[in-house]
Structure 1
Amino acid sequence: MLQQHFPLTDRNTLRLVSEASAYAGFRSLAELIQLQGYATRAQLPLRVLGGGSNVLLSEKVNALVVQSESCRIQLVMQNDEVSLVDVDAGMNWHQWVEQSIAFGHGIENLALIPGTVGAAPVQNIGAYGVEVGEFIDSVTGYQLSTRQLRTFSAAECRFGYRDSVFKRELRNDFVILRVRFRLPRRFSPVVSYAPLNSLNAAEITPASLIQAVTDIRMSKLPDPANVPNAGSFFQNPVVSDECARQLAARYPDLPVYAQPHGAKLAAGWLIDQCGFRGKPFGPVAMYEKQALVLTTSAGATLADVRALQKRVQDSVYEKFGVWLEPEPQLFA
C-alpha cells in the first residue's frame, strides 16, 4: 500500500531521522511498474531501499521509496559440480546464507552481514577473504530510464572492492529483482583471515563455519536493534606496496594484507590510533569495541554523521597520509 510522508527512521539501521515523500513495498515487476507510473505522475524520483543497513538517509527524502517484499528461493540447475539458485531481492541476507548450504557453498563467511540479497551485489559485500561477486552468476532487474527488464552477467556487473556497476553507472536507475548464485557443491572453507585462521579447515563443516562467523561478528559488532549502526563505516584502504612498507616500518603493529595490486590496511586500526574509539561526538561515536563502526543515539541526523565522518577522515589522513572512504551510500 502506498503511503504519503512515510517515516524512514526505523527503516535504516543507523536510525537517522528521515521521512520519505511516499513509500510502498512491491512483490512483482508489475507492481513496480505501477509504482513507477505513480512516481512519474507525482513528479517524484523512484528510489529503492534494501535493508537500510548501508545507507545514509537525509532528513527529507523527496522521492517515492520502494522496497522489495519478495523472498523466494528457486533452484534453477544442479549437477555434481555446481548449483544455480535464484534468490529474490527482498530475502534477508543472513537467512539466505543459512539456507544456501542446502544447495552449495562459498558464502558462509558472509554470515550475519545485515541487509537484503538485492543490496548485496551493489556493494559487492565481503568479509574474511570472501566477496559475494565471486559467487554471483547474474543479476536481473528493472532499468527505470529504459523501462526494460535486464540481466547482467557477473562480468557485466563489474565487481570490484565494495563496488559494482549498480553503484556507479546504474546508480538510482536499476531496481534489482533477483540474484542468481553459482554455488560450488564442494565445500572449500576460506579460513586464512584472522580470527578464522584458528579454525581447523579439515574438521569444520558449513554450518559450523557460519556459526563461527556469526559468533565473531556478534562479539565485535553491536546489534543494530540495540545500538544503531551500519556495520563497518569505512572501507579498508588499499595503498601501494611502497606506502604499506613505509607505514609498517613506522607502525609495526599495523595490520597489512597483501593484494593483487598493492596492500590493504585495517581502517579500524588507523581510526583507533587516532583516539576515536568510544569517544562520543554529540549523538554519534565510533564504537567502543570496534573503531570501524559508527554508532548513533536518539535524534541523530545525517549532518551529525557527516561531521564525525570528516573528523575521522581528516585525522587519519594527517597522521598516516591515508584517506578513508565511507561504505554507506547517501540516500536522498
Structure 2
Amino acid sequence: MAHSLKSLHTFALNSQCQNFVEITSLEQLKAQGFNAPFCLLGEGSNTIFLDDYAGTVIKMATKGITITERESDCLITAAAGENWHNLVRYLLEKNIAGLENLALIPGTVGAAPVQNIGAYGVELAKFVESVEYFDIATQSMVTLTNEQCEFAYRDSVFKHALKNKAVITRVNLAVPKQWQPVLNYGPLQSLKNPTPTMVFEHVIATRNSKLPNPYTLPNAGSFFKNPIITNKSLAALLGRFVDLPHYKYGDNHHKVAAGWLIDQAGLKGHKVAGIEVHQQQALVLVNHGQSQGPDLIAMIKHIQAVVLNRYNIKLEHEVRLINSKSECHITAENV
C-alpha cells in the first residue's frame, strides 16, 4: 500500500513508497522480509527521496539506553532508533561528557556510525567500541569492533561491503571518565576554562545560528562533504584564495570548507524551482516547496560544475540520495 515519504525525510520532497514498515523490536526485525528493493531509514535527516520508491522503506524505531560504569570509562549501549541529540543530552545529565561537540546533529543512533558523524573536530569513531547489526543473509546478530567498522571521513563499512546487508540494531560507545575538551574548531576556540555543559550549549547555539531548523524550513543539513585535498593542492589554492579555511587531515592532506567554496563562488541564494542555496549557510540546500527530484539534481550539478571550474575541486554530496530503486550518486564526472 502506497505511503507518503514527505514527512519521513526532512528535505520533504513529495514522494511515496510501495510499502512502509516501522521496526520497534528485534523480534519484529528478524521476522521482517527483506525483499528487494528496500531502504533502511532512521529519521530521514540525511536521506532524500528523489522519486517514488518502488519498494519497502523500513524505519528503525527501537529504543533503549544502558550505561555500564567501568574503571576508566563508561560503556553506553544505545538502540538504533534513539535520537542522537537526545542521547548526548541524556549522557550529559548523567555527568558523562565527551560527545558534546556532536550535539544537535540530527538523526538516529543507528545512522550515526554509517555516516561516522562528526562536527567541531570530533568524529563518532573516536568513541565507538562496537556496533551490533542484524545480518540479512544469515538472519543472525553480528558485532563489529571499531576497527572492523572501517571508519573514515563520513564513511564506514556500512556504506560499502555491508551496504544493504546489515541492519544496525545497537551502538556501543566507550566514553572516557577523564574529560578532554576539543576546542580547536571555529567558535569553540573562544571558550575559556569551559565545562562540558558550556561546550554543549555553545555547539547548540552555533548550529542554530548557522543551520535552519529542518522542521520549519525543510533541509538535509550539510549537503556536501568538506573536500580533502593534498598539501600541494592547498598551497596552490592559497596562492589564489588566501582566506580559504583549511584544517590539517593527516600528514599529507588538508580538509577545506565546502561551504566557503560555494559561498565565495557567489552561489548563496541561487535557486532552482523551490530549492535554494541557503542565504546564511551555503553548505545547506533548503526546499521551499513545489520542487521535485530533477530540480534538486539540477541544483547539485550546477554547484559541482561551478566549484570544479573555479577551484578544480570535485564536491561530493554527503546526503544519501534515493531514486526509484536504489541509492544514487551525482558526481562532478557526470556534470
Match of 1:52 in 2: 44
Which whole-Å CA distance do the structure 1 matches of 2:189 and 2:105 have between them? Answer: 20
Which whole-Å CA distance do the structure 1 matches of 2:173 and 2:139 have between them? Answer: 25
Aligned residue runs from structure 1 range 145-294, under 5 A: 145-200=137-192, 202=193, 204-260=194-250, 261-294=252-285
Report the residue type matching 1:297 in the other structure.
H
Which whole-Å CA distance do the structure 1 matches of 2:284 and 2:134 have between them? Answer: 33
The 8 Å contact of residues 273 and 290 in structure 2, kept in 1 or not, is answered as: no
Match of 2:82 in 1: 91
Which whole-Å CA distance do the structure 2 matches of 1:167 and 1:125 have between them? Answer: 13
TM-score (norm 2): 0.93
Distance 1:103 1:150, change over 3 A: farther
Which whole-Å CA distance do the structure 1 matches of 2:95 and 2:139 have between them? Answer: 33
4+ residue segments displaced more than 6 Å:
none
The 8 Å contact of residues 98 and 196 in structure 2, kept in 1 or not, is answered as: no
User: What does the per-residue CA deviation read over 1:83-107, in whole Å, with 9 as the maximum and x for residues that have no partner?
Assistant: 1110000001110110122263221
User: What does the per-residue CA deviation read over 1:248-272, in whole Å, with 9 as the maximum and x for residues that have no partner?
Assistant: 1111111111111301111011101
Which whole-Å CA distance do the structure 2 matches of 1:17 and 1:59 have between them? Answer: 8
Runs (5+) with no aligned partner, structure 1: none
Match of 1:314 in 2: 305
The 8 Å contact of residues 104 and 186 in structure 1, kept in 2 or not, is answered as: no
Match of 2:100 in 1: 108
Q: Displacement, 1:71?
A: 1.9
Q: Displacement, 1:147?
A: 1.8
SS at match of 2:7: helix
Which whole-Å CA distance do the structure 2 matches of 1:83 and 1:67 have between them? Answer: 29
Match of 1:330 in 2: 321
Identity value in percent: 39
Which whole-Å CA distance do the structure 1 matches of 2:226 and 2:150 have between them? Answer: 20
Which whole-Å CA distance do the structure 2 matches of 1:263 and 1:69 have between them? Answer: 37
TM-score (norm 1): 0.94
Which whole-Å CA distance do the structure 1 matches of 2:95 and 2:75 have between them? Answer: 8
Runs (5+) with no aligned partner, structure 2: 327-335
Which whole-Å CA distance do the structure 2 matches of 1:300 and 1:91 have between them? Answer: 30
Q: How many residues align?
A: 321
SS at match of 1:166: helix
Which whole-Å CA distance do the structure 1 matches of 2:24 and 2:273 have between them? Answer: 40
Q: Which of 12, 15, 30 is the equivalent residue of 1:15?
A: 12
Report the residue type matching 2:18 in the other structure.
S
Distance 1:103 1:145, change over 3 A: farther
